[in-house]
């Protein structure tokens, strides 16, 4: 199973538990269709239509339509809503653009362009990134490991520790 498939599967499982934020592809397209229908039909909108018109907009980008967060003015940059299936590519591009950055750096980058990328998705991607797993700190060994010098005869070998005192001159010892 590839990283993308595991990521999408875990996000889908998370969506089943917590329906906040994430949108499956079928619901994403249905929301766009419902929003366009509510905008066209000015007389019989209903509560759901008013809710959609207050929360979302549809942005036409060539032949594709994108779901964005409702803006108060047209000068604001749009915040896109992405489906669960598109989330992997979006998080991956943010992860690479931040130089395999941490969770907070990635979230800050993603919040500039996207409205529904949860922290769970970023943490999940970080846990699956092979490059980040290599760089992750290893637990330090406690104490100093001393390797004894093994000899067959008494006084055949010796060991001397040299200390460089030049970094901390004291009084007349300044050389």
Write the pLDDT tens digit of every residue in 102-157: 889 999 999 999 998 989 899 999 999 888 888 776 666 666 667 777 777 877 77
What does pTM read for this prediction? 0.70
| Better pLDDT: 168 or 40 | 40
Q: What's the confidence (pLDDT) of residue 159? A: 73
Comparing 14-18, 105-109, 159-163, the range with the smallest average pLDDT is 159-163
CB 91 within 8 A of CB 122: yes
Write the CATH number of the domain with boundaries 3-135.
1.10.340.70
Pure H helices in 41-164: 46-55, 84-97, 103-110, 119-128, 130-135
Q: What's the confidence (pLDDT) of residue 29? A: 92
């Amino acid at each position: 199973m590839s990283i993308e498939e595991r990521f999408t599967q875990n996000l889908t499982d998370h969506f089943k538990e917590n329906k906040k934020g994430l949108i499956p592809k079928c619901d994403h397209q249905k929301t766009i269709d419902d929003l366009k229908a509510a905008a066209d039909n000015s007389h019989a909108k209903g509560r759901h239509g008013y809710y959609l018109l207050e929360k979302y907009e549809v942005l036409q980008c060539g032949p594709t339509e994108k779901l964005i967060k409702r803006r108060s003015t047209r000068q604001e940059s749009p915040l896109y809503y992405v489906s669960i299936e598109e989330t992997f590519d979006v998080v991956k591009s943010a992860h690479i653009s931040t130089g395999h950055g941490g969770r907070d750096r990635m979230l800050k980058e993603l919040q500039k362009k996207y409205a529904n990328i949860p922290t769970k998705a970023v943490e999940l991607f970080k846990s699956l990134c092979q490059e980040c797993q290599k760089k992750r700190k290893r637990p330090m060994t406690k104490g100093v490991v001393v390797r004894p010098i093994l000899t067959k005869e008494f006084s055949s070998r010796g060991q001397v520790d040299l200390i460089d005192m030049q970094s901390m001159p004291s009084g007349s010892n300044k050389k």
